[in-house]
Amino acid sequence: MIVGLMGMSFSVNESDVKMVLISTSYGEMKVKLYNETPQHRDNFIRLASEGYYNGTLFHRVINNFMIQGGDPDSRTAQAGQNLGQGGPGYTVPAEINHEFFHKKGALAAARKPDHVNPEHASNGSQFYIVKGRVIPASEVATMEERRNLNLPEDQKWYYTDDQVNTYATVGGTPHLDGSYTVFGELTEGFDVLDAISVAQVNKMSRPNVDIQMEMMIIQ
């Protein structure tokens, strides 16, 4: 049983696949949450069920990289206001799993940078969906080599052939692997992701026209 921030309680059955619908003025996106990252899954379900994300913005949009949302301050933000520092007042421990990587459509948790957050703990509410770009296999191999160069063996990240092929055909952002928790993936609405990713933005990467979201658990 989970007790939410507003006193609501509900159960999460780990045998079920949890799906969340994100509605925007650009259309709808459906994301599947991974049971293998249970703390992030349960936290996202709790917040979405309470309506925490409703009326918040995709406040940071960078084409060929990602779209980011989940800052509660964005709900009442003034035009041009800098966003990205808000949250529910807690972090979620990292659940980095080598099975889940930053392919296009990956759902991952935002966080503070390494120098103030060496444990890679996630922001309690902010998330991003990867847009990325196609990465040739040779470039993925170079990233892998550079990332692993000075790491102990238990922290190294080696790509499978399938992961390399996904980056080379579907695309993504492999330079983020091993540093951020990926806890779900887009199953529908890639056209919406593409459309949001090319929205006109200001110098802080905030869309010039607000892109609000509504969320609901659909399974």
Q: Is the model's pLDDT at 200 over the cut of 70?
A: yes
Q: Which CATH number applies to 17-217?
A: 2.40.100.10
In this predicted structure, what is the pLDDT of residue 13? 60
DSSP type of residue 48: H
Q: Which residues of 104-124 are buried (b: 16+ CB within 10 A; e: fewer)?
A: bbbbbbbbeeeeeeeebbbbb
pLDDT tens sequence across 107-127: 999 999 999 999 999 999 999
Task: Map out the domains of the chain as residue ranges.
Answer: 17-217
Which pLDDT band holds residue 7 (cuts at 50, 70, 90)? very low
Q: Structure pTM? A: 0.93
Per-residue pLDDT of 58-69, as tens digits, reads: 999 999 999 999
List the structure tokens of 41: 């899954």
- Distance of alpha carbon 171 from alpha carbon 178, whole angstroms: 17
Separation of alpha carbons 42 and 10, rounded Å: 10
> Quick one: average pLDDT of 144-156?
91
Mean pLDDT, all residues of the chain: 93
Q: What is the pLDDT of residues 51-102, one digit of tens each?
A: 999 999 999 999 999 999 999 999 999 999 999 999 999 999 999 999 999 9
